[in-house]
Amino acid sequence: MKQTKRETTLSEKDALQDLLDQEKLLMNYYSAALTEGSSQAFRKAILKNYTAHAETQFSVFEQMLARGYYEVQPAAKMMIDQNAEKFQKVKKQLAAN
């Protein structure tokens, strides 16, 4: 059965989600390359690309948010306080060692 263009075209929401997922994946790859790079010039180029993709990823996220395609749940104050306390304990432990 032959598919028409309409059957194979992504909706705006799906296209933005796909773009967001790809940007996140690229950032993971650049992050790995940055930590493994042994040349200053290489690391500088990777960091430049990482920063550019971070900006693109955030722009796509903002577009999805503005269109109601991405829902952000605010964190409860109790959860924030618990995590802040947990990390303060870890920070003190690391400082003691």
Assess contact for 56 and 26: CB atoms under 8 A. no
Q: Is the pLDDT of residue 4 over 80?
A: no
**What is residue 18's three-state secondary structure?**
helix
Buried b / exposed e over 36-65, threshold 16 CB at 10 Å, is: eeeeeeebeebeebbeebbebbeebbeebe
What are the tens digits of pLDDT across the range 13-65?
Answer: 999 999 999 999 999 999 999 999 999 999 999 999 999 999 999 999 999 99
Assess contact for 34 and 46: CB atoms under 8 A. yes
- Looking from the CA of 10 toward its CB, the CA atoms found within 13 Å total 8
Domain count, the chain: 1
Range of the domain at 65: 5-96
